[in-house]
Amino acid sequence: MFIVSRSINISLLTEWNRGDDASWEFYLLKTKRFFFLIVTTFILAAVCSAQSEPTVSKVEPQSWWKGSSLNPVRILLRGSNLKGARVKPIGDGLRVVGLPKVNERGSYLFVDLAIAPNARPGKRSLLITTRHGFTYAYFEILPALNRTGTFQGFNPDDVMYLIMIDRFSDGDHGNNDPTQSRGIYDRANKFYYHGGDLQGIIDRLPYLKELGVTALWLTPWYDNYDRPNEIEDKEGKPSTGFHGYNPQDFYAVEEHFGNLEKLQQLIAAAHQSGIKIIQDQVVNHTGPYHPWVEDPPTPTWFNGTRERHLKNVFQTWVLHDPRPVEHLKRETMEGWFLDFLPDLNQHDQEVERYLIQNTLWWIGTTGLDGMRMDTWQYVPNSFWQKWTTAIKREFPKFRVVGEVKDGDVVHVSFFQGGKVRFDGVDSGLDSLLDFPLFYPIRHAFAEGRHLDAIPKILAADFLYTEAKILVTLLGGHDDGRFMSENGATIAGLKLANTFLLTTRGVPQLYYGDEIAMTGPDEPTTRKDFPGGFPGDQRNAFTRAGRTKEEQEVFDHIKTLTRLRGELEPLRRGRLVNLHVADQQYAYARTSKAGTVVTVINNDTKAAQIEFDVSPIRWTSGLSLIDRLGFAKEPRVVDGRLRVTLPERSAAILVAR
């Protein structure tokens, strides 16, 4: 600004002193020019000043808690004219460690803030100065959350329930179209927002409690872009980020769902109801409209650019191959997901630090209990090792389940932590979604294929470091509904849930499967829960709003969750196979608390089943009872259990 003003002043003096004519017309003209140049000087000086002064539009993270195992915290400030910036906290309890770093364009500033152990909670100002001016940003020191009843983790005692937030229940109609001018709320459009929100989940906690749910897995609540997605083509039409997997802001809650305070209210209410909360996170990629895409904080923030990047080829088998084809591995790991989701580069140390802190922030500021991590296999194991180590250091009981969507046990088991793999890394991952078991469950109970495919998959449990913590499922938001599989029936759905809730692992239900909802593909598997939205013709959250078949399935799952809670071996017992046939399967769950035997007849006709029970030490004359009420006179004779079951039914047997 000083240089520009000085050059203009020189021009003014030169103009005023030019010429010797003394006519009044000449002096009038000269005066007009003089005043014009004065005005221009002030305008240009103001513009110059505005262009040079630093600005800050975003602080990430905007807060942190004292006493954290991660200290100092690295803050990322987004703005303009930040080159040469210095940062000074105003107030006690906060200090800058080291020198700030600024990217080439001066649009991002990295600074480390250390929080004193005795710091008073509250907001602090950060003074950002450059040689052209100064501005302020704000950061809050938080008190640490009470660890009683928070950060609990999940385990086989739990029954997990997956909710797609936008499609479950609309509890706050005021946030259905918060941007108003954008028009991305439309229940008639399967790719737009439908109105489900965090308040809707709070309202339905009694329903979930009645069903027997103890943990809620919620799809991502990151803030998403407030516009139709013209980059992702859905049936020739634009889509939106209603599902949450295209983050626009990693430190904010999507306004269609609520805000941070509402999220904290939901978690507190759930904990009071005895229900844990599991966050769905994404660290592999961002949404296509994230500000980073056009202006990355570092040159290597992404793998490639929008104009020049690798397309993900999904050759995932190379990821556990000790002799991979390198170009296939690179295209799989570094390719942009679906060719439009920008791939974050976790080898960049700033990206690594940012993502680790972001995960810790969500846990530490809300009291989460667990996490489901999207697209686990497309992120380097070296990053996961640091990420999981940071989580366990701060929250030892916290647990993470990773999504590796593949039916191959060899491939999926490679990603579980607990041992160093051939790549020299122990990822530290607690659990995985059990997709190798998901597919034979669908094939056997929906399509009527061979039931013995299930124990064949379970026979490979030795490949996992801890199979009992795997999350088992028969439905999810990326696959068509169970009831839309060829041959699916209510009886088959009930059998599938019987197996799910009595075998090893942590069972996961998918919203609406408890009332036999249908939907053959990705859009329709994400339909609205009937009764959760204004104008719905019926309310399936209530008994009066369910059909006879819906109530039958609901009651069956409710019975199973109650039995699972009542009979400790169904949750923690060792799994023992007792009988395997084409359409019959019997197994025991045995622990110090006792033994429970589940017998399944998947045939379309009644079956008499007999098998040896000496492995579980059941002896002749033992009096048994079927807790489901289907078995006819179950008894042990000469060390063998004999039971007759009707078509497509099961028994849960315990000693009287």
pLDDT for 342-365, tens place per residue? 999 999 999 999 999 999 999 999
Q: Are strands 160-163 and 133-142 parallel, antiparallel or unpaired?
A: unpaired
Q: What is the pLDDT of residue 234?
A: 82
Compute the half-sphere exposure of residue 174: CA atoms within 13 Å on the CB side of its CA: 4
Residue 479 has pLDDT above 60, yes or no: yes
> With the C-alpha atoms ordered 504, 597, 475, 511, is the resulting torsion angle positive or negative?
negative
Per-residue pLDDT reduced to its tens digit, 432-452: 999 999 999 999 999 999 999
Beta-carbon contacts of 79 under 8 Å, excluding residues fewer than 6 positions away, are: 54, 55, 56, 57, 58, 107, 108, 109, 135
Q: Place 15 in a pLDDT band, splitting at 50, 70 and 90.
A: very low
Q: What is the largest CA-CA distance in the chain?
A: 132
Structure tokens, 6: 């000085």
Per-residue pLDDT reduced to its tens digit, 547-606: 999 999 999 999 999 999 999 999 999 999 999 999 999 999 999 999 999 999 999 999
Is the separation of the CB atoms in 515 and 550 below 8 Å? yes
Counted residue by residue, the chain has a size of 656
Residue 51 has pLDDT above 70, yes or no: no
Residue 50 has pLDDT above 70, yes or no: no
- Mean pLDDT score, 479-489: 97
Per-residue pLDDT reduced to its tens digit, 113-141: 999 999 999 999 999 999 999 999 999 99
Residue 505 has pLDDT above 50, yes or no: yes
**What is the H or E stretch that residue 205 is in?**
helix 205-211
Q: How far apart are CA 492 and CA 500, in angstroms?
A: 12
Per-residue pLDDT reduced to its tens digit, 531-544: 999 999 999 999 99
Q: How far apart are CA 570 and CA 564, in angstroms?
A: 6
Is residue 586 classed as helix, strand or coil in its secondary structure? strand
Q: What is the pLDDT of residue 59?
A: 98
Per-residue pLDDT reduced to its tens digit, 211-270: 999 999 999 999 999 889 988 878 888 899 999 999 999 999 999 999 999 999 999 999
**What is the H or E stretch that residue 332 is in?**
helix 326-334
- Mean pLDDT score, 274-297: 98
Measuring CA to CA, which residue among 569, 571, 587 is closest to residue 579?
587
Residue 384 has pLDDT above 80, yes or no: yes
Quick one: what percent of the chain has pLDDT higher than 90? 89
DSSP 105: T
Q: What is the pLDDT of residue 20?
A: 44
Measuring CA to CA, which residue among 527, 554, 526 is closest to residue 540?
554
Q: Place 12 in a pLDDT band, splitting at 50, 70 and 90.
A: very low
- pTM (global) more than 0.85: yes
Residue 21 has pLDDT above 50, yes or no: no
Residue 39 has pLDDT above 70, yes or no: no
- Mean pLDDT score, 379-398: 98
Q: What is the pLDDT of residue 45?
A: 47
Q: What is the pLDDT of residue 180?
A: 72
Q: How far apart are CA 17 and CA 257, in angstroms?
A: 67
Structure tokens, 285: 């990629």
Q: How far apart are CA 260 and CA 245, in angstroms?
A: 18
**Mean per-residue pLDDT of the chain:** 93
Q: What is the pLDDT of residue 181?
A: 55
Residue 417 has pLDDT above 80, yes or no: yes
Distance of CA 496 to the CA centre of its chain: 26
Measuring CA to CA, which residue among 388, 465, 451 is closest to residue 421?
465
Distance of CA 266 to the CA centre of its chain: 16
